[in-house]
Amino acid sequence: MSRIHEEFQYESEKTILLEILQELRKIRKELSHPTPTAIIFIQEQNMALLPADPGNTLVFTGTLAPAGAAFPAGTTFTVTSSDTTVTPTVDPTGLIVTIPLPTTVTVGETLTVTYTTSTFVPEPSTSPSTISATIVLTIGAPPVIVPTPTGVTFNQTT
């Protein structure tokens, strides 16, 4: 083989490999999900919405933005409360926050629940590397407890 033929073959193979690499990058971009830029919490609506009253347990479901965004594997989630008697939890997906309100929580109190994620590598790189959100509730009246009757007294009326 002549040297010119070898160089042409090398350049031709190099061009083909570069085209393959370009196609693979396009495929990777299509398959990868962006990381979230925000999360919005709404109270779970598959049941009648419970008021933020002492004794109730509130459930909030998060919606990630942009649509199609996903947290990278290994992301962890934390929720904290401004009231130490309230111990909110977050599920492993980071999308469901449960806030059990004890019967001793102060009526009229403004309760702040803060949600944060661990740091992650954003995709695209211009997105934030952590997400946080705040759920603010005003605690209402305590539940009315109706006593169970223990007996009946009858009086003649006619």
Domain boundaries, the chain: 1-31, 38-138
How confident is residue 125, by pLDDT bands cut at 50, 70 and 90? confident
Pairwise pLDDT comparison (32 vs 121), residue with the higher score: 121
* Residue 32, token pair as written in the block: 């990868």
Query: pLDDT tens-digit profile of 90-110?
Result: 999 999 999 999 999 999 999
Q: Where are the alpha helices (DSSP H) in 32-156?
A: none
Q: Is the pTM of this model over 0.85?
A: no
Query: pLDDT tens-digit profile of 18-60?
Result: 899 898 888 777 667 788 988 888 765 555 678 899 999 999 9
Helix (H) or strand (E) holding 60: strand 57-65
Pairwise pLDDT comparison (62 vs 46), residue with the higher score: 62
Q: What is the CATH number of domain 38-138?
A: 2.60.40.1080
Buried b (16+ CB within 10 A) or exposed e, 44-80: eeeeeeeebbbebebbbebebeeeebebeeebebebe
> What integer pLDDT is reported at residue 47 of this predicted model?
55
Tracing tokens 């997906």 back to the chain, one arrives at 93
> What integer pLDDT is reported at residue 11 of this predicted model?
76
**Measured between alpha carbons, how far is residue 158 from residues 64, 72, 154 in Å?**
68, 76, 12
> What integer pLDDT is reported at residue 81 of this predicted model?
97
| Residue count (the chain) | 158
Calculate what percentage of the chain has a pLDDT beyond 90. 43
Q: What is the mean pLDDT of the chain?
A: 84
